[in-house]
């Protein structure tokens, strides 16, 4: 996702009640903090559309958005500036440090929505479905946890299916055209709506441990 550099982002973020400056401080305590039994984490939230909508559709669940780009994170925080909700928090850091913020088996669902495809082989490690990430997700998920991925990118989806398989995950649901039918239970992300307007199919997979 590209946005112009927002010079006020870094000062603005810590002033927001939904913003977590140091997620290490909440390690092992997220569910208590969010007042929930089921914890969802979205990695690469962009401007936060999915995180915002889903936290409002499922207020009994906890929702954490993670976005590494400060300017983009600031746009997400702007969207909820006047709308604080107890069940959602946002982190502006790189998900490579996920293990420092979450305890083993603390997460119920991890969402990967329209993750950067990183098409060049030399950048493969940055893909959020690279096995190094999957091994961390596996530790942090509960025994009954799920990873849900949506993408428009055929190559990334093909790559991810193999990575999940080789990391010991079980494919539970797969869609090659998720939005062909109505899915009111699942919010449409910003990227997703762009691809839907262009009539591109949306791929979706659900994996369990
Ligand atoms: N989920 C949104 C945005 C998709 S673009 C949507 O569907 O509309 C992917 C986003 O992931 C970008 O904003 C990028 O900055 C973020 N991202 C990529 N790698 C990340 C990482 N390691 N940690 C946190 N965010 C990451």
Looking at residue 208, what DSSP letter applies? E
In the annotation, is 97 catalytic? no
- What is the reported pTM? 0.98
- How long a stretch of residues is the chain? 209
How does residue 3 score in pLDDT terms, banded at 50, 70 and 90?
confident
Catalytic-role residue among 94, 97, 116, 177: 116
Give the Cα-Cα-Cα angle 185, 186, 188 (nearest 5 degrees).
135
Model confidence over 121-163: pLDDT tens digits? 999 999 999 999 999 999 999 999 999 999 999 999 999 999 9
> For residue 25, how far is its CA from the centre of ligand 1 (angstroms)?
23
CB 157, CB 195: distance < 8 Å: no
> For residue 115, how far is its CA from the centre of ligand 1 (angstroms)?
6
Residues whose beta carbon lies within 6 Å of some atom of ligand 1: 1, 43-46, 50, 66-69, 72, 94-96, 113-116, 128, 189-192
| Residue identifier of the C-alpha nearest atom 20 of ligand 1 | 44
Q: How far is CA 119 from the centre of its chain?
A: 20
> For residue 116, how far is its CA from the centre of ligand 1 (angstroms)?
7
């Amino acid at each position: 996702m590209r946005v112009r550099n927002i010079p006020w982002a870094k000062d603005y973020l810590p002033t927001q009640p939904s913003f977590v400056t140091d997620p290490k401080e909440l390690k092992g305590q997220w569910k208590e903090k969010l007042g929930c039994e089921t914890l969802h984490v979205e990695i690469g939230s962009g401007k936060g559309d999915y995180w915002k909508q889903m936290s409002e559709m499922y207020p009994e669940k906890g929702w954490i958005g993670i976005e590494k780009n400060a300017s983009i994170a600031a746009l997400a925080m702007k969207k909820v500036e006047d709308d604080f909700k107890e069940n959602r928090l946002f982190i502006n850091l790189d998900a490579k440090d996920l293990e420092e913020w979450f305890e083993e088996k603390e997460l119920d669902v991890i969402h990967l929505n329209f993750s950067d495809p990183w098409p060049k082989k030399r950048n493969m490690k940055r893909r959020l479905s690279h096995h190094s990430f999957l091994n961390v997700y596996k530790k942090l998920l509960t025994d009954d946890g799920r990873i849900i991925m949506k993408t428009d990118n055929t190559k990334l989806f093909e790559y991810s299916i193999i990575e999940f398989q080789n990391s010991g995950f079980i494919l539970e649901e797969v869609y090659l055209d998720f939005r062909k039918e109505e899915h009111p239970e699942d919010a449409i992300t910003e990227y997703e709506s762009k691809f839907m307007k262009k009539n591109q199919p949306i791929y979706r997979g659900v994996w369990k441990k």
